Each structure stands twice: as C-alpha cells, then as structure tokens.
Amino acid sequence: MNDTVLIIGGGLGGLFTGALLARNGVRVTVLEKNATPGGGLQTFVRSGQRFETGMHMLGGFRRGGSIARICHYLGILDRLKLRPTDPDCMDSLLYLEEGERYAIPEGRERFTDYFAGLFPHEADGVRRYVEALYRLSEEVGMFYLREDSASIFSHSEEFLLPADELIARYVVDPRLRDVLAYMNPMYGGVAHHTPAYIHALVNVLYINGEDRFVDGSSQLAEALAGVIRAEGGRVETRAEAVRIDCAERMIRGVETADGRRFTADRYISAIHPCTLLRLLPEEALPRAYRQRLDSIPNSYSAFTVYLTLRPESFPYINHTCYCQTSHGDAWRFGDCDGAWPRGLMYMTPPVSGQGPFSRKLILTTPMSFEAVRRWESTTTGRRGAEYEHWKEEQAARMLARMERIYPAFGSRIETIHTSSPLTIRDYYGVKEGAMYGFRKDAQQIALSQVPIVTKIRNLLLTGQNINLHGICGVPLTAVNTAEALLGVNRLIHAINTKYDTDYGTF
C-alpha cells in the first residue's frame, strides 16, 4: 500500500494506528494539538516529580498478552520499563465505615480461591462467576488477537446483560456483589447500563496480571512516535486541527491553528467523534449520524490530586489501592452530590531504583461533568477564583479520606496539584472530560457502537470511542482500523506469527 495517511490526534489510538500502518509501508503524518504526543500517556513534572496523566495500570503486557504481542511486532516491547505489581496483592480494597480490607491476588485460580475462601457460603457462585468472566472474554476474539473475531451482535445472552445483573446471577451476598464490582472506576461502570462484556474484559485483563510503567507512561508514546518517524513518517506537535475541508464525501485537507494545511490520500480521526464533528462542514455527514453521535451519553470524568511527599514519610506501595466509604456505593461513584467522593483510588508510581519510600502519590476519584458545568465556557488559567476555591474544597474532601486511612497524612505532604473534568476536557479534547469516551449501554447497545468506517469515503475512526477503551482496548481498535486499509486479518496474522516465532506459542 503506497497511500499517505493523515491521523488527527496523537493520543494512544492515533499513535498505535500510525505505528502499525507505518510498519506496513504507509507514509503517516500525525497531528497532535499538545506540545508532546500521547494523550493519556503524557506526563508532566511538578515540584521535581513526574506524574502520569492517565495510564497508571497496565494489562495485556504479560507473556502472550495481546498488547505484548502488538508491541513486540512494532519492535518496542523490550524498550519499555515495566514493573509487575505484587502477585499476592495486585489490588487492595478498603471499606472505611466497615473497616474491611481485601488483598486481591492476581491469577485466575488464586483470585477465585481468595474470594471463595473469604465467602465460603458463596464458593460455588464465585467459581461460576469467574468462569463466566473468562467465558465472556473468549467471545471477543479480538481480545486475544484471534483472526476469527466476531461482531458483538452475535454473542451469548449474558454478553449484553448489565454487569451488575451478571454478578447477581451468580452471587447472592450483597457484600460480595459489591466487592466484585470494585474495578468499576476502570471503566465507568453504571448499574443497569454497563454491559457484562465490558466488566468481564477489564476484570480478566487485570486478573491475568497487572503492571506499571517505571518512570512514567510517556515512554510508550515516545516509542510509538519513534516507530512512525523511523519509517519516514511525521508526528507534528502543537498542530491543532481546526478545520477539515470536505467536499462530495471526500476530505481534501486539514487546516491547523497555526495556518498550515495538510493533505493525504486517507484520513483517520483519533479524537472524540463529537470533537470531529465540529471540525467538519455540516453537510459532510448525514444529519441523522451527527444527531446520533451527539446523543450518545459519555462516561464520567475524574478529579485527581497529585501529591509530592516528604522524604521517607510514606511507603512505596506496589499495587493499586481502592477505597470505598461503605458497601453499596460501587455503582454510584460518578454521582455528584453531598456524599462525594464515595470512593477513590490511590497509587505510588514507581521510579528507577525504587526504594521502600515514595516521593509522590496520585489520588483520583470519578466525577460527573455536572460538577463543573457552571465553568464549561471557561479556558485553562481563566476560570476564576471561585473555581480555584472549589478545586481546593474537592481536594480537601479527598485528603480527608486519606487522613482516615493514614492518620496525620497531611504532615507527609509537600505540595498539592489538582485536575478536574475541565482539565481533562481541554487537555485531551474530549467531550465532557469523559475518561472512557462514549458510555457503553446494555439497554441501547446499538447506540453506543460507532463503526470504524464513516460516510466520508476516505475517513476512518480509531481511539477509545470505537469498540473498547483503555491500554488494551485502544491498541486493539488500532489494529481494526489499520486492517481496514491493509486487509482483514493480515495484521493480526503478522503480529501473532512474529511473536510466536520469536517467543514460542503461549
């Protein structure tokens, strides 16, 4: 294939799609509005410490994992600095009011045995529930990079069952039901709406083994951009697309904020579809298509506190810590009311030569965009004193939870920095600061499915709003998008062949 391809958006989806195409002889140009590429892979430095903006926990990088296979195909796997979480405790879960603590191990059998042992009256249900998770994941061939992947519309009855109903089908104890939903912040889970297959894929991904980037997630963005450049492509930063010239259902060019114009044979949008609509002339796409995209609910956003810590005052914790105020809140994290925050996650990102103490901590909790709706017309740095005071209040609420977990926690803090749904919206360019893009809805599954192919003949889509989100879902969607140009199953076959030849079948 000798076509040139222009990708709008240099986040995880744009970079993976660009790197896969570049490795197959396509001349790729990526336009990224920020100073550095990467989207959720980007990092920033505050008070001498590097913080990740979004990609904290990794799945799929263990031997035979789908993301390990893709990265090996691209020649970057061995360049990534990864640290596995503790196998005996990949995640911890604390209920503040009840004082309950769980240390959740990795591995299918160990995960099953752990909860069966704690809830012996539910042992059989736990086993059947975990079997259901893996059974549902097997229905998504792309999750395992199988060439026989199927449409989501030809699956078992449980596949599109709401996730909370899937758990309830196997588990009676309401406490255990709540515990088994603890990963909800990883996919924006909403009771009666989030499909069971989303719950299953995310849980299986991390049960199989969780890793972390050492020294920050931007290394993956840099590696992917390096692949594109090595193959003769370009990654243009500070190149915000502001207008797409389109006539007769064909894109003719893309204009950037600094007045440049880029052209190519094919175009791929890796930005939020609703952001894309604003760049296109109104007549470029059917009115019904536009209205449909605008009507899809978005997943909730997040409020995050970034802390630098005093030397030797807080331990490095080699797992992700989940905390809920009490049982019964697992499906209500995104609610914006006086009980916020109902739960939070905190983690100490590893650095090279990591010792027993950490100098930084990331504290994050889901938040609805409604919490910041009153400032939605403002821009970064110009939101006003009321907004700054509001952010301080939200940070104080979250830190109060940490004080309950670690008495005198405040004395360990050196500096505090925060981000809100507005920060995410403006930095990533996503509607309502949605952490996971469009919300998948079991009640209206057809509404939340956005095809890769569009009505514009030379425009394809990629990114977290298409198919699946996150560190696993977005690269897999990138494979789908690339194969729309290269040929179905051609890329999957090449990825698997290279991995199995070099490492042996798994």
Residue 50 domain flag: no
Residue 360 domain flag: yes
Check if the beta carbon of residue 278 is closer than 8 Å to that of residue 471.
Answer: no
Residue 90 domain flag: no
Residue 374 domain flag: yes
Residue 99 domain flag: no
Q: Is there a single domain that holds both residue 334 and residue 428?
A: yes
Residue 167: predicted pLDDT: 97
Q: Is there a single domain that holds both residue 307 and residue 390?
A: yes
The residue with tokens 């222009």 is 6
Q: Is there a single domain that holds both residue 111 and residue 142?
A: yes
pLDDT-based confidence at residue 1 (cuts at 50, 70, 90): low
Residue 93 domain flag: no
Q: Is there a single domain that holds both residue 318 and residue 406?
A: yes
The bridge status of strand 43-46 relative to strand 49-52 is antiparallel
Q: Is there a single domain that holds both residue 421 and residue 489?
A: no
Q: Is there a single domain that holds both residue 203 and residue 221?
A: no
Please tell me the total count of domains within the chain: 3
Residue 88 domain flag: no
Each residue of 262-319: pLDDT tens digit?
A: 999 999 999 999 999 999 999 999 999 899 888 888 888 999 999 999 999 999 999 9
Residue 151: predicted pLDDT: 47
Each residue of 397-446: pLDDT tens digit?
A: 999 999 999 999 999 999 999 999 999 999 888 889 888 888 888 887 77
Is 50 exceeded by the pLDDT of residue 73?
Answer: yes
Q: Is there a single domain that holds both residue 425 and residue 323?
A: yes
Given CA atoms 9, 13, 15, 19 in this order, what sign does their dihedral have? negative
Q: What is the DSSP letter of 201?
A: H
Residue 494 domain flag: yes
pTM above 0.85, yes or no: yes
What CATH number should be reported for the domain holding residue 292?
A: 3.50.50.60
Mean pLDDT of the chain: 92
Q: Is there a single domain that holds both residue 418 and residue 317?
A: yes
Residue 303: predicted pLDDT: 95
The bridge status of strand 250-256 relative to strand 261-262 is antiparallel
Domain final position from 185, 207, 229: 207
Q: What is the DSSP letter of 304?
A: E
Q: How long, in residues, is the chain? A: 506
- In this structure, of 235-249, 359-373, 409-423, 462-476, the range with the lowest mean pLDDT score is 462-476
Q: Tokens representing 387?
A: 């907004």
CA dihedral 406, 409, 413, 416 (to 10 degrees): 90
Domain final position from 384, 417, 435: 435
Q: Is there a single domain that holds both residue 308 and residue 196?
A: no
Each residue of 113-122: pLDDT tens digit?
A: 999 999 999 9
Q: What is the DSSP letter of 162?
A: B
Domain final position from 375, 401, 435: 435
Q: Domain limits at 464?
A: 4-41+55-81+216-296+441-503
Higher pLDDT, residue 402 or 467: 402
Q: Is there a single domain that holds both residue 352 and residue 397?
A: yes
Q: Is there a single domain that holds both residue 309 and residue 385?
A: yes
Measured CA to CA, the distance from residue 211 to residue 15 in angstroms comes to 21
Q: Is there a single domain that holds both residue 311 and residue 393?
A: yes
